[in-house]
Amino acid sequence: MNASHTHITHTLLLLLLSILIGISVSIIDTIFGKILLLISDFRVEHFIYLIPFLAFVGAIFTYIYQRYGSSATKGMTLVFETTDKKTNETSIPLRMIPFSIVGTWLTHLFGGSAGREGVAVQLGATISNHLGNIFHLDNDRKTFIVIGIAAGFAGLFETPIAATFFATEVLIVGKLYYKAIPFALVAAFSASTMSSYLGLEKFSFVLQDQVPFSLMLIVKLIAIGILFGLVGAVFAKLLQLSKTFFAKHFPNPIIRIIIGGICISIASILLYSGRYSGLGTNLINDSFLGHTIYDYDWIIKIGLTVITIGVGFLGGEVTPLFAIGASFGVVLSSIFQLPFTFVAALGYASVFGSATRTFLAPSFIGTEVFGFSYLPYFLLVCTVAYLVNQKYTIYSAQKYHAS
C-alpha cells in the first residue's frame, strides 16, 4: 500500500512539474520567437547594411561564448550527454539559455542561414533538468530531459504531438522512451497552449488537395520518400563534413567563424541578396502559395545552412530542413504529376525526419501543420525516408538502439 501511494504521489508530482515546465518554457519560447521574427523582418529590410558584419559579430560572440560559456558551448551534445550521467550535480548550466538565445538572434540579424529549434530544445532541457535537481528526482533525469525537449519544441512550433514523439525518439534512434510519454504530452500541450495564448505565430497550411489512394500513387509516394530520405541524409552528412573540415583547417573557433562568416556574406549577397538567409520561411511560404521556387533553391539552402552551423554560428537546423523539403517537394511535384502543395507538405515533414532519424515526429508534425486527414500519406513517406537514411544525423551525440 505504501509503495502504491508513493508511486501515485511521484506520478502526480511529475505531472505538476510537467505543466510548470511547459508553461515556463513556452513563455521564454514566445519572447524568443517574437523577437526573432522582428529581427528577421529588420534584416530583410536592411540586408545589405547588416550582412557585411556577420563575420565580425560572430567573432565577438564566439570569443565571449568560449570565455564564459563553460560546458554550455557543447550545445545539443550536452543535452544528449546529460541523459546518460549518473551524477547528482546539475549537468546543464543555466547560462546555456541566454547564450543560445542571444547567439541565435545575432546569427539571424546579420544574415546567417540557420533555424531556431536549438534554442527551444536547449532551454527546455535546461529548465527541466534544473527542476528535477531541485526536487532531487535524480532517477528521473532522462524523463526530465524528454519533458524539457517536448516543451521547448511544442512551445516554439505549437505542434504538441509531434514535439512529444520528437523528444522520445531523438535521444536513441530506434527506441521510444515510453515512460516519459505521458509527462511529455502534458508538458507539450501546456507549452503549445500557452504559446498560442501569448500570440506566438504558428505556421499552418490546410491542404485542399484530393489525392485518392491507388497503386500508382503508392508507388509514387515510395519513390518520393526515397528521394526525401536521401536529401535528409545528404544534409546530415554535409553538416558532419562541414564541421570536420572547418575544425581541421581552422582549429581556432574565432578564426573559423570569421572565415565562414565572410564566405556566407559574399554568397548571400551574390545569391539573390539574402534569399537564403535566416530561417527559410520565405521559401516555405513561396512553396505553398505558388510563388517562384527555383529548381536549385533547396540545394543552395543546404549549402549555406551547413556552412553557417558548421563554422559555429548558433541556431538550429529544423526550420531550414522544412524549407529544403518544401522547396524540393515543389520541384518533384511536376516530375511526379502531383499537386505541388501536397508534395511540398510531404517534403516539409519527411526531410526533417530523415535528417533527425525520426519518423513518428515528422509524421505528426505533417498532420498538425497540414491536416490530420493526410496522416496515412505522411506515415508512408516519412517511414520510407526514415528507412533510407540509416546512418547520418544532424545530432552527433545521438545514440542508436542495439537491436
- Mean pLDDT across the chain: 93
| Topology alike, domains 2-197 and 215-400 | yes
Task: Tell me the CATH number for domain 215-400.
Answer: 1.10.3080.10
Say what the pLDDT of residue 88 is. Answer: 45
CATH superfamily of 2-197: Clc chloride channel (1.10.3080.10)
Return d(Cα 61, Cα 140) in angstroms, integer.
35
Average of per-residue pLDDT across 117-136:
92
pLDDT of 48 strictly over 70: yes
| pLDDT tens digits, one per residue of 296-311 | 999 999 999 999 999 9
Question: Using one digit for the tens of pLDDT, what is the confidence trace for 220-237?
Answer: 999 999 999 999 999 999
Of 335 and 6, the one with more pLDDT: 335
pLDDT in tens, 167-206: 999 887 777 888 999 999 999 999 999 999 999 989 999 9
Q: What are the boundaries of each domain within the chain? A: 2-197, 215-400
Convert the pLDDT of each residue in 243-277 to its tens digit: 999 999 999 999 999 999 999 999 999 999 999 99
Residue, of 43 and 75, whose pLDDT is higher: 43
Contacts for 72 with CB less than 8 Å, ≥ 6 apart: 65, 78, 92, 93, 95, 96, 99, 100
pLDDT attached to residue 403: 52
Q: What is the pLDDT of residues 80-103, one digit of tens each?
A: 888 876 444 457 899 999 999 999
